[in-house]
Amino acid sequence: MSDVIRTSHFKSQFKKVKKNPRWRPIFQQPLRIMPSENRSPWQYILDCFFDDTPIPAYFYSHSITLSTEQRQIIKHRLNLQLSHDIEIKGLNLHFDGSNGDHLLIYARRMLYF
């Protein structure tokens, strides 16, 4: 089970994106690949994160390389100390199943003991 930590910057950006009509299908319409499901693509991806289940190929998820500066900004926003046992990884998702404008970049915190 994973935790989602929303920073204040995320919350303000999320509000702007959610009001944008181009993103309405991502938050409100049912998932195209599973019409029987009553979840939106956004909710489906969040459930995948929470349950640690693989993301279907439909979302064209692929890793991206974050710069050192981007990783430091993420650690700072999450109030993490700059320690060597935390790795920040980036993943690029296309919510509409193509290379369209609907994408999400998130960072996952990996702890190594």
Whole-number pLDDT of residue 4 = 62
With the CA atoms of 77, 79, 85 and 90 taken in that order, what torsion angle do they form, in degrees rounded to the nearest 10?
-20
Lowest mean per-residue pLDDT among 64-68, 88-92, 107-111: 107-111
Side-chain half-sphere of 60: how many Cα atoms within 13 Å?
Answer: 11
Residue 107 has a pLDDT of 61
- pTM, 2 dp: 0.71
In this prediction, residue 95 carries a pLDDT of: 77
For 64-80, the pLDDT digits (tens) are 888 888 878 877 777 66
Q: Domain residue spans in the chain?
A: 8-111
pLDDT for 17: 82
